[in-house]
Amino acid sequence: MDKQITAFLDYLSVERGLAQNTISSYALDLKQFKAFCRQLGVTDGGRIDRSLVIRYLVDLKNKGRAPATISRQMATIKVFCRFLVDEGVLSKDPTANLESPGVKTKLPDVLGQEETIKLLEQPRTGNTAGLRDRAMLELMYATGMRVSELLALNVDNVDWQQGYVRCRGKGAKERIIPIGSVAKHYLAEYLARARAKIMAGKGEKALFLNMRGRRLTRQGFWKIIKKYAREAGIKKEITPHTLRHSFATHLLENGADLRSVQEMLGHADITTTQIYTHLTSAKLRETYDKCHPRAVK
């Protein structure tokens, strides 16, 4: 379970961009849960089941832990178990439908459509790094891929004739996502004018390379997107997941159906995708209050 927890904490840091204090809180909660599991002979995350989680929560209650503490522990275990499902370690989520009193779902931060365009237009495409960055950002927003999926792409994962990209998501599940003309344009420009200049060796398969000619890392991508967010004057907290969240929200705002968005995001369970309906509902409320003559008096 140690390696699984380490991978989970890395995911929180790199892909979700959580603050170090928040990650430390997750780490402490999982350290306590791991100790309880080991007392019962469970040392692999793949053996976590519903009964084990319930026994742990009951144990916390019997020890007199505050309801807020139990709720926080429950929230941590839920996120960890969903991660293990996505990674293929667990076949199903043992915490599904378990009540977690007092814990509200935190809606992800998303960019408005104008903010997104401003972010995407920041890279200077007259130079090699800028052209690579524009292609990456455009492709990520065009597909809603996780940053790990984006950076795992090889050149042959792009089907130019059919206009889609083939990526391998969590749990080694492969999916096909269409890409629009703008992303295709900048991707083609990057391949024609930039990639060969920075490629370290002829055998390099990675689509996106760092300036040393090797596959770009998640940490490298995070620095890139935060740099352009600053240059765009965006005050919201930006993470590598922000474009993914924005992709889903903008599709729903413009009439896409939930099932299609679920498939493009690679969510195993549609309830994970449904969080974006809360965001679009909030947008509808805002529009209604702003535009209806008798909405707010």
Active site residues: 146, 170, 241, 244, 267, 276
Please state, in angstroms and as integers, the Cα–Cα distance from residue 101 to each residue in 56, 218, 229, following that order. Answer: 16, 34, 36
